[in-house]
A and B are shown apart, each in its own frame.
Chain A
């Protein structure tokens, strides 16, 4: 905990963190100062004037809270009549040209302007002249749709493009009530974080083409999760909803603040990776291309395992630590050779040093930590000798072309424990559906050696089992997540202090000795 200072808000003494501006400092203790243009990641701009507060120490009567650092003994005035009046007046100013688009606006329900109108303004419109007409539904590229009429010209999006992505595609053109955000002609948004402006926009001026009109936001259930798109492990909010008579479906991923990992943002690819959770899923267990009940298929698997002389077990680098431990004990029990070969998951040169990583797998550090061999030579050698390959959701098509794969697996039976009904699953002799990352709870270690836990977010109508449970059904001695977690403690000593569901939300930073504790 950083240093704390004491100051007064409306005459009441509160203790806040030092070194922050008033909005953040007081906001952290639950007292909200309305603001539109200020965003902690983008710094203070001071253009919206919504955060004007009074300081009773001889300063000018009103100061913007976003630009004012919190100081000890400060007397902050929030509920005085003149503060209320300025808030009301600012709201009225913002709403002069704001269209009544709420019924068709995707932001409605999470719109700052809407919220502030309800809590700070409620002015009746006094306008007698027609509203200023601006362009609507402008395609800014990268899946961002802009509505200039709804914009309050807070400039968050402009600052994001300048400060964070340093691409500067957006700018505010014209002045006064004709001011509007726009792109330069012929140069649309072109960066891999562009959709963050949709989250940043406090109103509905920036909307996502992907999410546009799909759902009203108040229907969405929000669950915390971890993006499995790359080794960064960005913290996300999984927003899903079960419509009447239908299945629970994820509608969008949004970044969730974690200063240790991703800050406020995430990349567009990760944001859109929610589609993989919904589409192309393997839903039914298959035995040589016939749909059969899971119990039958599992029995057939056990027969195959008994019949086979040598077995190779292949793990996905996206599996959670619990699943890896479960599969590891399974393969030890079966006497199989275990591999985590997944070179195809690495796209060299794709990383940008900010959030996007080369490695597109979520838990390669976990494979290393558990001492699972990941080399191509040992995997191929083992496959050539083995009669049976049990593939736990490792997408081999990323590492091999189809013909290479056919050649490699021609004498080997394949049991695919897979989330998706893709080419690889189609090649398998036996296919077993399993849960994707939003449908189970587990832990991951990201590229920075931070161990993060995530909970189950989505419950499908027919919830598939997760890999750990399938491993248990195939004979792994670790039957439950608690047992898996207990086993995990043997590898990661710091977990001794935690239970599976009490891991800190911001993640555990593993030190080098633990990460190096490979064969313990």
Chain B
């Protein structure tokens, strides 16, 4: 016997349960308990007062993307297309070009992430061989009123800072 087997009794067979009304009153007593408790003291509501109280974002939370940079602020990404290849939502659109600053040969000329299509699975981060794309901005709320602004372009991806320090991020095991 590998798995533990727990036999559950089927409810609703006894006469008292089949009367139904008694069980209804029990249920109503339960809900009224919640109502009355919350009515007396509304601090007991299980509510976060968003947007005034912001949730704490853990390091491993997959938020909006950003592209990391070298120390001198140039893009780390070499446009290897691993993220685009792995993206299950097909939301990454890269255009590669020659890199002339001597760091490497290839770099992205365009790097677009369509946040409306992104499913925030984090495969792009896992696929990246150079730690060039991360989802550590801590941005969880992406709102706007036109479609175009949901397509992140290279400058925005590069300038968004990470929300955590390098040590925290590494320790987060991402």
Q: Which residues of A contact B (CB under 8 A)?
A: 102-104, 108, 136-137, 212-214, 216, 218-219, 243-245
Contacts and interface: CB of A to CB of B under 8 A. Distances in A.
A104 B98 contact: no
B85 A218 contact: yes
A243 B98 contact: no
Contacts of A103: 78, 80, 82, 106, 129-130
A213 B93 contact: no
Contact of A136 (B90, B105, B130): B105
B125 interface: no
B81 interface: yes
Interface centre among A104, A108, A137, A245 (most CB of B within 10 A): A104
B96 interface: yes
Interface in B104-131: 104-106, 129-130
Interface string B45-82: 00000000000000000000000000000000011111
B97 interface: yes
Given A103-B130, A218-B85, A243 B79 contact: no
Contacts of B81: 216, 219
A214 B96 CA distance: 7
A20 to B, nearest CB: 37
B93 A243 contact: yes
A137 B105 contact: yes
Contact of B97 (A213, A216, A245): A213
A243 B96 CA distance: 13
A355 B82 CA distance: 38
Interface centre among A108, A137, A213 (most CB of B within 10 A): A213
A244 B113 CA distance: 12
A213 B79 contact: yes
Contacts of A216: 80-81, 85
Interface of B: 78-82, 85, 90, 93, 96-98, 104-106, 129-130
B85 to A, nearest CB: 7
A251 to B, nearest CB: 12
Contacts of A213: 79, 96-98, 106
A214 B80 CA distance: 11
B103 to A, nearest CB: 11
| Interface SS majority for chain A | loop
A300 to B, nearest CB: 40
B83 to A, nearest CB: 11
Given A103-B129, A104-B80, 9 more contacts: A103-B78, A212-B98, A213-B96, A216-B81, A218-B85, A219-B81, A219-B85, A244-B93, A245-B93
A104 B90 contact: no
Contacts of A104: 78-80, 104-106
A108 B106 CA distance: 14
B161 to A, nearest CB: 25
Nearest to B82: A103
Contacts of A245: 93
Given A213-B96, A213-B106, A244 B90 contact: yes
Contacts of B85: 216, 218-219
A218 B90 CA distance: 15
A137 B105 CA distance: 8
Contacts of B98: 212-213
26 contacts: A102-B129, A103-B80, A103-B106, A103-B130, A104-B78, A104-B79, A104-B104, A104-B105, A104-B106, A108-B80, A137-B105, A212-B98, A213-B96, A213-B97, A213-B98, A213-B106, A214-B96, A216-B81, A216-B85, A218-B85, A219-B81, A219-B85, A243-B93, A244-B90, A244-B93, A245-B93
Contacts of B104: 104
B111 to A, nearest CB: 14
A102 B105 contact: no
A108 B82 CA distance: 11
A136 B100 CA distance: 13
A219 B84 CA distance: 10
B90 to A, nearest CB: 6
B80 A102 contact: yes
Nearest to B128: A103
Interface centre among A103, A108, A214, A219 (most CB of B within 10 A): A103
A218 B93 CA distance: 15
Contacts of A108: 80
A214 B81 CA distance: 11
A108 B104 CA distance: 16
A95 B157 CA distance: 35
Contacts of A218: 85
Contacts of A136: 105
